[in-house]
Chain A
Amino acid sequence: MLSPDMAFGSRDRLLPASVPFRFFAAALAFHLAGWLLLALGGDALAGSRGGPGTAMAALHLFTLGTLATTAMGASYQLLPMATIRPVGSVGWARASFWMMVPGVALMAAGLALLSHPLAWLGGGLTAAALAVFAALMAGNLRGASQMPAVGVSAWAALGSLAAMAALGLTLLADLRFGFLPDHRALTGVHLGLALFGFMGMLVAGFSTILIPMLTLGQAPPVRSGLATAAAAGVGLALLVAGAFLPGRLPTIGAALAGLLAAALHLQAMEAVMRGRMRKRLGVPFLMIRAGWAMLPLSLIVALSLAAGIDRLNAPTVFVILAVGGWLMTFLFGVLQRIAPFLASVHVTVPGRRPPLVSSLAPEGPVKVHAALHLAAIALLVLGNLADLEWIARAGAVAGTGGAVAIIVFALQVRARALKALHSDPPAPRSRTPGNVACST
């Protein structure tokens, strides 16, 4: 617990530090577990075609355990700051954590060990956690009339989340009872809703606030955000329709609409970057830019699959590019920037000099993580394109190293923040002692 919460009023929008940071800590643990499972698990990594097993368990540790858990912590902290409305219930936010963490762990264990009861119990707990999260965010978004583009994206994300979770539970039941006519097609819809609906829309919406804030750039025009959300919405609707209609056209249309949404979003982000006031952005923005680059790549592979071109282990390459390449790379870039920033906010106590953000952010682990993470994605893609298991397995080992490095980063941020909180207040820097009052 970092925060001197008594420093802030009860109606304040800043949550206790323990709320967002517990989600981030769990996400880092799931991230490491996912890479370890890929590195040591029994499933082949080159050409994996889905189905229960260690690879599927690792995928859910990345999507639900890492991406969704981080999204929950970040949303609880950041959305109220942008909407000027506090989270409806801090207690329920905490409760969602205590459902999410065991839920994801049990579900991953169930998938890895091929245990239906474990997977179902975990899936149920995870769905309950996500329902609480969705309800809290929906309550907050109802007052966000000032940010129409963010609001539309967030509502679309919550709608996708509900559909994705319902479909996920249905797919789990189908593994046991086998009642679905086309399990594979609905798995594709579940994956698409999770990656491009829930996470993608959340990323697109929050990016219009976060990226301008972090770069000191101008926020994109509202119409650009609305156009992105509209194109993505059409793509998601076509994706769902594709599972029930004959022929390839709806799914091809879904991939094309997704590419259009990605182009609009990336164009808006590029405009923010071009006009930014902060020029030196460091390693985190290399990660963010790399993540952006892999979004259209993943959709191009999705388009080829929708068109029936299934070569070079394209389904696995698609999942690697979308989950590891786009979402995880982008998310860790953002996390590397906002974790020290949030830590500095939480250890600021009235009457004491706040620590410099740079003093809380160790550079070494960030560089190691970036290098190993990007190497992991490249090796996994290469291993699948070449259909060579040892190359893909080397990628999983590199990913494990990167996961350790980002945990070291987080532990150092925590240690430095606690040291700043408990150290004696330094004398204010001044050549004329006492001259610290603001003039009017």
Chain B
Amino acid sequence: MLHVNSRIGQLLHADHLTTLGTLQELEELLVRQGAAPPDLTKAPVRAALETLVAVVKGEVSRHFGFEENHLFPVLADAGQTGMTMLLISEHRAILPVAEVAGELAGAALAAGSFTPEDWTEFREAGLEFCERELFHIQKEEMGLLAAVAALVGPDEDARLAEVFEGLHAAV
């Protein structure tokens, strides 16, 4: 990850770190468990799934929403239409699998266990979510944050940071 000077760049980067931590835990759980559903009485497994539900509900959808509604228009005005279209396409692919994984994790936590069918579906969606989101974050860390640093002026930076923090506070 590049060193980021802008406030909004730093806030987005912090969000990325939170999401990456969750994805890392999720990926390790999915790879470790294989086809066998995990024991949800184990605290670390429950914690990993609870974090996933929270991240999908909060971080991912709010992060994407902020980018599409507030940040990307600024970058598109500066000529970065190709990059913003690419990232929006990826959002459209990531969010559905993230929501499927989040819903299945939430339902399993409420029921106390995964059914074998739900675990299979959760594992597929979870692995796809991990891969898509990891590559998406790679692109944002290299391309988006560099574009923010180069193209967003100090006043716009402060305004965007305020909007972003307002969205966080509203949750």
Segment from A51-59, A347-355, A413-421 that makes contact with B: A347-355
Range for the number of chain B residues in contact with chain A:
35 or more
Question: CB of A219 within 8 A of chain B?
Answer: yes
**Which residue from chain A places its CB closest to the CB of B129 in the assembled complex?**
A429
Q: Which of A406-440 contact B (CB under 8 A)?
A: 428-432, 435-436, 438-440
Question: CB of A386 within 8 A of chain B?
Answer: no
Q: How far is the CA of A414 from the CA of B65 in the complex (A)?
A: 33
Given contacts A9-B82, A12-B82, contact A438 B68 (CB under 8 A): yes
Q: How far is the CA of A344 from the CA of B90 in the complex (A)?
A: 11
Given contacts A8-B86, A219-B1, contact A82 B146 (CB under 8 A): yes
Q: How far is the CA of A348 from the CA of B87 in the complex (A)?
A: 10
Asked whether, in the complex, the Cβ of B89 is within 8 Å of the Cβ of A431, the reply is no
Residues of B with C-beta under 8 A to A345 = 86, 139
Q: Which of A165-224 contact B (CB under 8 A)?
A: 209, 212-214, 216-219, 222
Asked whether, in the complex, the Cβ of B1 is within 8 Å of the Cβ of A350, the reply is no
Asked whether, in the complex, the Cβ of A357 is within 8 Å of the Cβ of B149, the reply is no
Asked whether, in the complex, the Cβ of B128 is within 8 Å of the Cβ of A356, the reply is yes
Asked whether, in the complex, the Cβ of B91 is within 8 Å of the Cβ of A438, the reply is yes
Asked whether, in the complex, the Cβ of B149 is within 8 Å of the Cβ of A218, the reply is no
Question: CB of A89 within 8 A of chain B?
Answer: no
Asked whether, in the complex, the Cβ of A212 is within 8 Å of the Cβ of B1, the reply is yes
Segment from B37-45, B109-117, B130-138, B154-162 that makes contact with A: B130-138
Q: Which of B44-95 contact A (CB under 8 A)?
A: 61-62, 64-66, 68-69, 79-83, 85-86, 88-93, 95
The proximity string for A residues 1-27 relative to B, scoring 1 for CB distances below 8 Å and 0 otherwise, is: 000000111011110000000000000
Question: CB of B24 within 8 A of chain A?
Answer: yes
For chains A and B in complex, what number of residue pairs have CB atoms within 8 angstroms? 138
Q: Interface residues of A: mostly helix, strand, loop or mixed? A: loop
Q: How far is the CA of A356 from the CA of B134 in the complex (A)?
A: 11
Asked whether, in the complex, the Cβ of A357 is within 8 Å of the Cβ of B95, the reply is no
Question: CB of B97 within 8 A of chain A?
Answer: yes
| Nearest chain B CB to A212 CB, angstrom units | 5
Question: CB of A90 within 8 A of chain B?
Answer: no
| Nearest chain A CB to B142 CB, angstrom units | 5
| Nearest chain A CB to B62 CB, angstrom units | 7
Asked whether, in the complex, the Cβ of B79 is within 8 Å of the Cβ of A9, the reply is yes
**Which residue from chain A places its CB closest to the CB of B91 in the assembled complex?**
A438
Interface hub of B66, B69, B92, B147 (most chain A Cβ within 10 A): B92
Range for the number of chain A residues in contact with chain B:
35 or more
Question: CB of B20 within 8 A of chain A?
Answer: yes
Interface hub of B93, B151, B167 (most chain A Cβ within 10 A): B93
Asked whether, in the complex, the Cβ of B131 is within 8 Å of the Cβ of A358, the reply is yes
Asked whether, in the complex, the Cβ of A353 is within 8 Å of the Cβ of B92, the reply is yes
Residues of B with C-beta under 8 A to A280 = 27, 31
**28 interchain pairs, CB-CB under 8 A:** A7-B82, A8-B86, A9-B81, A12-B83, A81-B142, A84-B151, A146-B150, A209-B142, A212-B1, A213-B138, A216-B137, A277-B21, A341-B135, A345-B139, A350-B89, A353-B92, A353-B93, A354-B89, A356-B132, A357-B131, A357-B135, A430-B99, A431-B103, A438-B91, A438-B95, A440-B62, A440-B65, A440-B66
Listed in ascending order, the chain B residues whose CB lies under 8 Å from chain A are 1-3, 17, 20-21, 24, 27-28, 31, 61-62, 64-66, 68-69, 79-83, 85-86, 88-93, 95-97, 99-100, 103-104, 125, 128, 131-132, 134-135, 137-139, 141-143, 146-147, 149-151, 167
Instruction: Give me the 9 closest cross-chain CB pairs, A-B, nearest first.
Output: A12-B82, A8-B82, A9-B81, A11-B79, A440-B65, A84-B150, A438-B65, A430-B96, A353-B93
